[in-house]
Amino acid sequence: MVDKNRIIADLHIHSRFSRACSKNINFPNLVKWAKIKGLDLLGTGDFTHPIWFEEIKKLKNNGKGFYYYEDFPFIISGEISLIYTQERGRRIHLVLLVPSIEIAEKINSYFDTKGRRDYDGRPIFKIPGDEFVKEMMKISKDIEIIPAHAWTPWFGIFGSMSGFDSLKECFKDEFENVHAIETGMSSDPKMNWKIKELENKAIVSFSDAHSFWPFRLGREATIFKKCDSYLEIIKQIRKNDFIETIETSPSYGKYHWDGHRNCDFSCEPEKTKELNRICPKCGKNLTIGVEYRVDSLSNSRSDHKIKKPYYTLLPLHEIISLFLEVNMNSKKVWNLYNSLIEKFENELNILLNISKEDFLKKEVNEKLIELILRNREGKINIIPGFDGEYGKAIIGKQEKQKILF
């Protein structure tokens, strides 16, 4: 059932050395849960952190930029934060994909001239975007630089709070050396197709996971043609030649709609405009979400000729939680999850491939089957997330009763 001619990859994750991340993240746990999820390739994350980098260096290199823990491959990756003033304050996060340990060491040496790397797996540097890309290209043309979660308000390159109105505005003469953006959970490819500037850029998806649990790891991913080479992965990104992506519904993301978490208020863009972007509860400016921001930068002349297919899926834990009507991380959910994995190999196989007939043969509850199939079609309704709060999946009576404003 699993297609052996493709690789499902999650190349944006974190180690235990990044803030707000599980302290139990290590390579054994990452490999164990990547296999349970159904992933074939991971980024190492956090190669800039000195201790984690020492652990990365223990992985076995296949000579082509894939680094193995036992039988599972990684490519060297990390996320950095650039915070600087350019007319106004800018805060952008970038994912770096790196071809080798040797190149990673050169990048780390460059960072050491700019600041510290040891305090966080996602270090902060005061380097303008264009200058940073230029310096990376001096080190190696094979380094891939991808704006992370491109639309999120605070650290996305298009973010409403500190981002830019275009890639060109950020990267200037280095624009052509940025080949892709990461959708982030609050946007999907269809939303990004509205932006003319992205017509010749790849639109990739990764999880930005802060733990190894399967409702975080691989919740968004990119599906590549089968290979065992870093350069082949990069070639597929740069030529926009990968197969497709796995997305969560944008509404599931933490910043899809506008709102105020502390006021428990959210609304869609049209309502925000009526309110002049002011929270009706506290009178302060709303945190403007991704849907509003995409609409404000969209261009009627955009004509994306390469429109990759993509899946819209919620993690299996969410579906089981809806079915059992209990917390997603409860023992009941885990017991049923483990039972399904035992029967059907891995989570993505369950979410994408198993037929209704095969579910019934293994005595899976019909209501749960219905929810899994609805999820496969992107038909689970969600109250949109806002201002740092995840969206909430709903079914049954909740769907009829949900209040949008």
Ordered by start, the domain boundaries in the chain are: 6-251, 316-379
pLDDT average, residue stretch 213-219 = 98
**Given pLDDT bands bounded at 50, 70 and 90, which one contains residue 367?**
very high
Q: Residue 201 pLDDT > 70, yes or no?
A: yes
Percent of the chain with pLDDT over 70: 97
The pLDDT assigned to 300 comes to 75
The pLDDT assigned to 276 comes to 97
CA distance 402 to 112: 51
Q: Residue 404 pLDDT > 50, yes or no?
A: no
Q: The tokens of 281 are what? A: 């509860």
Alpha carbons within 13 angstroms on the beta-carbon side of residue 339 total: 12
The pLDDT assigned to 234 comes to 98
Q: Pick from 149, 202, 151: which is nearest to 179 by CA?
A: 202
CB atoms < 10 A from the CB of 234, how many?
Answer: 20
pLDDT average, residue stretch 325-353 = 97
**Given pLDDT bands bounded at 50, 70 and 90, which one contains residue 403?**
very low
- Are the C-beta atoms of 221 and 246 separated by less than 8 Å? yes
Q: Pick from 77, 15, 75, 1: which is nearest to 40 by CA?
A: 75
Phi-psi region of 176 (alpha: psi -120 to 50; beta: other; left: phi over 0): alpha
**Given pLDDT bands bounded at 50, 70 and 90, which one contains residue 361?**
very high
Please tell me what DSSP assigns to residue 319.
H
**pLDDT tens across 93-135, in order?**
999 999 999 999 999 999 999 999 999 999 999 999 999 999 9
pLDDT top residue among 305 and 383: 383
CA distance 287 to 276: 12
Q: Pick from 12, 14, 56, 46: which is nearest to 123 by CA?
A: 46
CA distance 329 to 345: 21
- Are the C-beta atoms of 13 and 76 separated by less than 8 Å? no
pLDDT average, residue stretch 391-396 = 89
CB atoms < 10 A from the CB of 335, how many?
Answer: 12
Alpha carbons within 13 angstroms on the beta-carbon side of residue 86 total: 19
Crossing angle (nearest 10°) for helices 331-344 and 316-324: 120
**pLDDT tens across 249-304, in order?**
999 999 999 999 999 999 999 999 999 999 999 999 999 999 999 999 998 788 88
Which H or E run includes 42? strand 41-43
CATH topology for 6-251? Answer: TIM Barrel (3.20.20)
**Given pLDDT bands bounded at 50, 70 and 90, which one contains residue 4?**
confident
pLDDT averaged over the chain? 95
Residues near 222 by Cβ (< 8 Å), separated by ≥ 6? 8, 9, 10, 11, 204, 205, 206, 242, 244, 245, 246
Q: The tokens of 207 are what? A: 């999880």
Q: Residue 405 pLDDT > 50, yes or no?
A: no
Q: Are strands 6-10 and 41-43 parallel, antiparallel or unpaired?
A: parallel
**pLDDT tens across 13-32, in order?**
999 999 999 999 999 999 99
Give the dihedral sign, CA 128/105/27/227: positive
Q: The tokens of 299 are what? A: 């261009």
Question: What is the full DSSP assignment across 236-269?
Answer: HHHTT-S-EEEE--GGGSTTSBEEETTTTEEE-H
